Amino acid sequence: MEAHQALDTPSIVPSVIHVTDVSLTFQTNDGPVHALKDINLTVAKGDFVSFIGPSGCGKTTLLRAIAGLEQPTAGKLSVNGMDPDAARKARAYGYVFQAAGLYPWRTIAGNVKLPLEIMGYSREDQRDRVRDVLQLVDLQDFSEKFPWQLSGGMQQRASIARALAFDADILLMDEPFGALDEIVRDHLNEQLLNLWDRTGKTVGFVTHSIPEAVFLSTKIVVMSPRPGRISDVIDSPLPRERPLDIRDTPEFIDVARRVRDGLRAGSASVEG
Amino acid sequence: MRHILPIIAVIAAIVALWYGAAIWMNAQWTLQQAERSETSLTLAQVVAGSFGQERPRLPMPDQVVAELWETTIEKKVTSKRSLVFHAGITLGSTLSGFLLGAVAGTLLAVGIVHSEVMDKSVMPWAVASQMIPILAIAPMIIVVLNSVGVQGVLPKAVISAYLSFFPVVVGMVKGLRSPDLMQLDLLKTYSASNAQSLWKLRFPASLPYLFASLKIAIAASLVGAIVAELPTGAVRGLGARMLTGSYYGQTIQIWSALLMAAMVAALLVGLVGVLQRISLARMGMAQ
């Protein structure tokens, strides 16, 4: 319940991501594409924020801009009070992509160790962190296996472990479970919530699944395409503790309906 | 067992074809001899006369095998008539040229992948270099290097390297560029340096391409080493064996040197294959 109160009074909780009037236009051969237009958003520490919308609404672009992988053409972005490039260099976030993208020539432990090697952690520190973080995603028995020996869901868990291995307090995830089947996805969603609860990280999560967004998030950002913009921001009334069957409660269904309305309004305004 | 039968069948077919061709080609000499001595021969005599000639147009497989046996197993390896000795000479310059070519090719590929200027300027020259017939440029390289006092193995190795660097450049450029955008973005989120991306991602990812290139490169190196022995009037090496063989019409000697070269090439490519299997298996990328 504490977290819930904190959400109602954001001034107490420091905000970690500030997006102010951000627009991003790609120059293509077919003319400019307005991927993002006048985006304003504040993410508080410890928030689980989902970005949901149809394809082409700029949700991935927004996440990439927060990560400093894309440069906004207008507006201001700050992460932990720094610009995204500086935040990246300060290891503010771990990024999880749509595909696990593990190196086939490294074991699971080797893959998780990769960012630690690059960032110059000591050997002992690397070993301890790999062990801890593999335990966190329940892969401690698979550390010496190669990626092809693991299922798709386990590979994605390893890639989450890789993003958690260094002490980033923000986790950015771009449709990490999009390629997985429903049952595996449910299981991973539960694990992710559990992990978020234990680590207290701030999570940015791109998805196109309404139940996934509602189940996971404290804040749901509904986006609409052409140009990509925010059509609704929903602060979830659901408690932090969320068993899977919360999806049958009236509160859950209410939030899901609001998200669906937001999505419909967004696409209607495009058609109209 | 299922694989052995087809292999034996193919070998038998090749040997039969070879005997047939040899009888047909060598019969002319037998017939000429008969014409001169004004005797006439039966078909059996013509066929029999095709065997065991001293300078046949096409040596019989058994003659080549006998020559190979004599010059490899029976001769001392230090003897100038030992094919093992000559193969060793050629192997030396092949391997040093291969090493030079592989290193040069890899370095060029790293440069090309990291620098647009190098991509635009070096690649066309690399392609152009392979358009020149090696037979034309080999004597030039040897003469030029000789005039600056470089002799021995190095000029031959340079010619081998000239042939072997190219497949390595092409394969490694492709291999170093094989990581997808997501992989590169991931490293960017770690603020990895170019050197780190090279060692941690690009180089390991390129290894399957490298080994494929090395197989071509090592065979090309051997060709380069043999060609390098031809214009110099070298007296040692498989190329020299072929050259002296052709001076004196010793077809058996030429063919046994050719077969030896083919066996050395097969051995070298096989060795690279073994190396490939071991390293990829150790990297968990067994194919």
The average confidence (pLDDT) of chain A is: 85
Least CB–CB distance from A69: residue in B188, B204, B285: B188
Q: How many angstroms away from the CA of A230 is the closest CA of chain B?
A: 25
CA gap B38, B269 in Å, rounded:
53
Q: Is the pLDDT of residue B275 over 90?
A: yes
Backbone angles phi, psi at A203, to 5 degrees: -120, 130
> Quick check: A99 and B182 CB within 8 A?
yes
In DSSP terms, A34 is beta-bridged to: A25
Average pLDDT rounded to a whole number, residues A111-131: 92
Name the residue facing B191 among A88, A103, A148 (closest C-beta): A88
pLDDT in tens, A169-225: 899 999 888 878 888 888 888 888 888 888 888 999 999 888 899 999 999 999 988
Residue B2: pLDDT over 50: yes
Which pair of structure tokens corresponds to residue B174?
A: 């492709």
Supply the pLDDT for residue A268: 63
B160 contacts B225 by C-beta, under 8 angstroms: yes
| Confidence class for position B267, pLDDT limits 50, 70, 90 | very high
The whole-number pLDDT of residue A272 equals 39
CB contact under 8 A, B189 and A94: yes
B 76-105 residues with CB below 8 A of A? none
pLDDT tens for residues A149-177?
998 889 988 998 998 888 888 999 998 88
pLDDT recorded at residue A6 = 44
Query: Percent of chain B at pLDDT above 90?
Result: 44
Q: What per-residue confidence (pLDDT) applies to A109?
A: 93
Rounded to the nearest 10 degrees, the angle between the axes of helix B203-229 and helix B251-282 is 170
Q: What is the pLDDT of residue A13?
A: 65
Residue B15: both structure tokens together:
């040997």
Three-class SS of residue B234?
Answer: coil
Contact flag A105-B187 (C-beta cutoff 8 Å): no
Contact A118 B188 (CB under 8 A): no
Question: What is the distance between the alpha carbons of residues A96 and A172, in angstroms, rounded to a whole number?
Answer: 6
Alpha carbon of B219: minimum distance to chain A alpha carbons (Å): 28
Closest residue in chain A to residue B279, using alpha carbons only: A105
Q: How confident is the model at residue A1 (pLDDT cuts 50, 70, 90)?
A: very low
Instruction: Give the nearest chain B residue to A66 (CA atoms).
Output: B189
Query: If you measure CA to CA, which chain A residue comes closest to B189?
Result: A88
Residues of A with CB under 8 A from a CB of B: 67, 69, 88-89, 91, 93-95, 97-99, 101, 103-107, 114-115, 117-119, 146-148
Beta carbons of A114 and B200 less than 8 Å apart: yes
CB contact under 8 A, A95 and B189: yes
Name the residue among A50, A23, A20, A49 with its Cα closest to residue A227. A23
- The mean pLDDT value for B111-121 works out to 90
Distance CA A56, CA A263 (A): 13
| The residue to which tokens 């005797």 are assigned | B39
* pLDDT (tens digit per residue) in B49-80: 888 888 888 898 888 999 888 888 888 877 88
Nearest CB neighbour to B204, from listed A99, A105, A146? A105
With CB atoms and an 8 Å threshold, state whether A105 touches B285.
Answer: yes
CB A146 to CB B284 under 8 A?
yes
CB-CB under 8 Å, A115 with B190: yes
What integer pLDDT is reported at residue B43 of this predicted model? Answer: 82
Distance of residue A71 Cα from the nearest chain B Cα, in angstroms = 14
